[in-house]
Amino acid sequence: MKNKILYFLLFMCMASLKTNAQDILLPSSHYKFKVVEKVCEKIAKVREYDRIVPELKMYAKQSKTQVIAQFVAVNGHQIIYVDEKLYDLCAKFGADSLNALACILGHELAHYTQNHQYKDGFFAGLLPSSFGIPKGIRKSAKDQKMKLEIEADYYGLLQGYLAGYSTYQLLPKVLKKIYEEYKLSEQLDGYPTKNERISAAEKTAQEIETLVPIFNAGKFLYLSKNYEDAGACFQYISNTFTDRDIANNIGVSALAQAMMLMEKENVYFAYPCELDASGRLLSSTARSTLSNDGKKDKKQQIKDLLKRAETHLEQVLKLDKAYTAAHINLACKYSLEGNHAFAVGYINKLEKILAEDPSIKGGLPANAHLIRGIALAKNNQLDEAKSDFETAAKKKAFMADYNLALYNKINQSFLEKLFDITDLKEWITDFIAENQKDNSKFIPAKGETIDNTPIQTLLKEKFETNTSIQLAGRAINIACVNTEVADKIKIRLFDKNVYLLATKPNYMGKTSQGMAIGTTKNQLIAAYGNPSYVQAGSNAEFYFYEKVKMIVEVSEGKVKNWMLYYIEVRN
């Protein structure tokens, strides 16, 4: 009987809330609503998978209802409620106002992505004590609530950081401000105490602070072609954070390792899954980068690496069936092992998925056309491949000019081939030498600083090893010194030390050439010239300037962050 009364009262409260909602909600056209919505969508992109982004509803200040921020799931309908008062509270953080919002919104989105609405005890933990829940049940619900809050902090802070917000250092301050502004009791029944909540947030922030340098280290190691070490870093992160980008990075690292081992005669085309096809095509021999080199023959190593890539890329598609990069990389994997028909099938499947999504504009991306063209050509379907190669060139796919020229070379008529005495290997060498030059400007690397710190000063920095990632017979040791606006990172590898100086999302400074976070891609190229090479990521591009020793991440046409690097070879 008591349970029936309890459910009735809860139903009546929710019904009352719904009845008055139209009078107390901010309209979606309100500028505050739009700001919150944009932050919410940006974080959701990091890990939304195949889900619909929860609906946003914002209570106006004159409303008697106060939720601060809350994720609610009712009959399959997901909603994030936010107070206008919370927006004003975050605005008091000044330059960090959006970061403060991201702390809270990331937390609520994490409740969604982690399926917390389905966990036993979660709803009970929110019930007021006046409903007569026994103390033992309230204690159990509180413990469960604490566990979920810590998990939401962890995933929310990391998702917020990956979306470009400085979250993990700010959350404890935001929580303290919420208790002050909302005049909350330090001991809320059925909820962790203020000190417990803030202490947990500080501990989580420290854990994220350790993880971020590993992510930056993996990113640099991949871009500098240390594929095995990069894969180990991403694997370390994936042990605690299951993310489609991280899983995709592990898969691509394995693909890149496999291609380093393949004889270039079998892979004349430049595949969109690789970083520097020019270096592979011009090299005289294929060299293993594996720790266990010599224990397995080259064919078995390649087979194992391709299988590893497949495992992780398939995991990505389980998380998000429309994840474009994974489809392209899997198509590369199948083509590389000779299953070209299967590669074509993956791109055809992607094309159908994108066609059914009204939010997708432009159809298949350039690299999808490219890998389908390569697979068709290698499957002796040269006529069918022509359209894809031409479209890939128009859309500026990876090494598009080279791949189209190579296709035309292979597709010459018999008569043309009689009069063409140029050896294919010589043709490739000449083409790349002529067209793949480093046209970046020469700007002295010593002149670049982040937060007035030259990269060379890190050689005298006192680092303590934070993380040791074990590989067969050796280890990758990663240490970091944090400042408010930058990370100083040292990576100790088998034969060298790598020093990185990386901007944080809240960095307000500029480079020697005036580049800042938010600088457009065109302004970047005008300042530094064309990069040594560009690596396309799932939602960003990485511009590698070897002369300046700088890597710039560009997302949505603007600079998102950058890092300076210095490599010290040990005797």
Output the pTM of the full model: 0.75
Rounded Cα distance between 18 and 68, Å, is: 17
Residues 6+ apart with CB under 8 A from 428: 268, 281, 282, 406
What would you report as the CA-atom Rg of the chain, rounded to the nearest whole angstrom?
Answer: 27
Rounded Cα distance between 115 and 181, Å, is: 30
Question: Under a CB-based contact definition with an 8 Å cutoff, are residues 480 and 493 in contact?
Answer: no
Which residues of the chain fall below pLDDT 50? 1-22, 118-138, 284-290, 292
Q: Report pLDDT for 92.
A: 94
Q: Report pLDDT for 526.
A: 92
Rounded Cα distance between 155 and 46, Å, is: 11
Rounded Cα distance between 468 and 474, Å, is: 10
Q: Report pLDDT for 501.
A: 96
Question: Under a CB-based contact definition with an 8 Å cutoff, are residues 201 and 153 in contact?
Answer: yes
Measured CA distances, 368 to 36, 133, 541 (Å): 34, 57, 16
Question: Under a CB-based contact definition with an 8 Å cutoff, are residues 335 and 305 in contact?
Answer: no
Strand boundaries in 64-160, DSSP class E:
69-74, 77-83
Measured CA distances, 72 to 59, 69, 81, 137, 179 (Å): 14, 10, 8, 22, 22
- Selection from 432, 387, 425 nearest residue 266 by Cα: 425
- Dig out the tokens for 69 from the structure: 């921020």
Q: Report pLDDT for 418.
A: 62
